[in-house]
Amino acid sequence: MTVPKLTKEQAAIVGVYTGVLCGPFSDIHKLAEKLLGRPVWTHELARKEVWMELQDKVKPQFLEICHEPES
């Protein structure tokens, strides 16, 4: 069985939501800045409250990736 690969954007979404790096870190960093609407220093990503805010903001996109549309 062949499993389709995630796009770069999907991999960044999964990375932000789960904390598991499944693509380039630069893509996750770029998405974090987009989600927060401001520049994000890399050391900020070590803060739990920053990750919690990012997870909250990206959750709908993460669930969209995980959900199989009904036929």
* Domain residue ranges in the chain: 8-66
Q: Provide the token pair at 4.
A: 């389709």
Q: Provide the token pair at 33.
A: 């800045």
- pTM, 2 dp: 0.86
Q: What are phi and psi of 56, to 5 degrees?
A: -60, -40
Alpha-helix runs per DSSP H in 25-68 = 25-36, 48-66
Q: Which tens digits make up the pLDDT trace of 5-49?
A: 899 999 999 999 999 998 999 999 999 999 999 999 999 999 999
